[in-house]
Structure 1
């Protein structure tokens, strides 16, 4: 029997501490009055109106565990039934060990292997493709837990850096299980490493270990150095949709729903028009939860499912784009 990875449950976690645009603008105004004006421009282009921050005693793994619990409950399984945990994040608990092993311990998934995926917002679709592939080729594997988690505000100078406007904390998760019906349909991947100097945390690793000087200068914090050109997503996302459709032998008009990286609503609108799909086949959460980075795709997917926008039989395409930059798309036929 052909085995396909099938999504059988989803969940999300949103922290409780809300930071509205009004509050953020106040912070920026204390640094420079012109930065407060930028907040209004960002809101107009992104549709982000608020975001939520985790408690100071929480780490990324804590957010991931809460989303995992919700997904496992939705799937009707226990942590003991998880064979593998794939965690996508670019705000890890530590440089090493992997955050996924911390999640395994906190979740109590004692039988699960784990690994991290570190391609920012492309991590969740990458994790779905990896999980589905492992299920299809390993008869012993029954349940794979794929998580996206983000706590970037903790790694930012968030009361002084206006780019922190975008960062909201959160986590989302999905449970994959084998099925004789797809399930997983196809995937597509792309990267352009020439953009690696544009946005990141550039001190604290082996290229530039942390020192007193670079900590004091803010180099161990996340920084936008050079903005990405709009065509990275405006042109890249339609290409990934067309590639995943070609790889899966389906036409774009067969797509029932698309989940994108949740950073700018106007980009989603532009891309849906470019590929000829109605905007009603997309969903967005940045207006109510901010840009939740590595977590935004699973959070948006879970929200759309729970709102009844995605149903059994639907062909759903995920398109993620992360700093580096990485892009990934994956298509699933919903069985539940």
Structure 2
């Protein structure tokens, strides 16, 4: 499918804020919105952002309506998610992907938003952005400047260079690998298997991260990806932050033992230690564009995600 890059932002542009999964912390959200306004952007909030329906930010239809309306709104140049949690997969098969296809624009988020990143890319070719969100990250008082600075890539079409100046990187399997950069939250990637949105890893650089999963759970998910052929089909692997993924039981493999087992078994170039995911700082990356990883130089070069 043809890769579709959205247009870059300019000062004075309007961005839409939606909550397609769980309800955000509203105080943090307002501080996050203030940050966007400080970049010279105008902000339009979706109607369900302040809603709650159990663990969801409104019903599936309410959240879906916000998503559709933001893509249809010609004034809105980018859509920024307020937070993750749970819920995007519930409405994935309800989305009118023709609306997204005809109105390509910046779409930004991570965690549960991974399901939408995957669906948008595979259904429309749209390049999306894996980055910290307003209510769960940017609006927090201790958010690192590098997390906030990630939004600056939306104004300038320069390639992203990730080196050990950002974080120490560890080689799991040596080599060089290239391909479209895809992935996100491991739990959400596994949840696509067996659905019409099943993750396509063929020839791709696969990035994974997660939070609050014991090594045994990570083992189960990586094993499922492995048995489904998804690790064999990938060109290489990037391992991001696995926040609080420690064992709560006496007998356990370590997280490193689990991850290394499957990456070595797949035997494709692999680096781990990327500050991408549920971490602070959280480095933002575009998904769906070409990237090259070199384990000898410990570098990742990612093509710009905007026009």
Taking structure 2 as the reference length, the TM-score comes to 0.37
Structure of larger gyration radius: 1
Flag the structure with higher helix content: 1
Larger RCO, structures 1/2 (Cα 8 Å, 6+ apart): 1
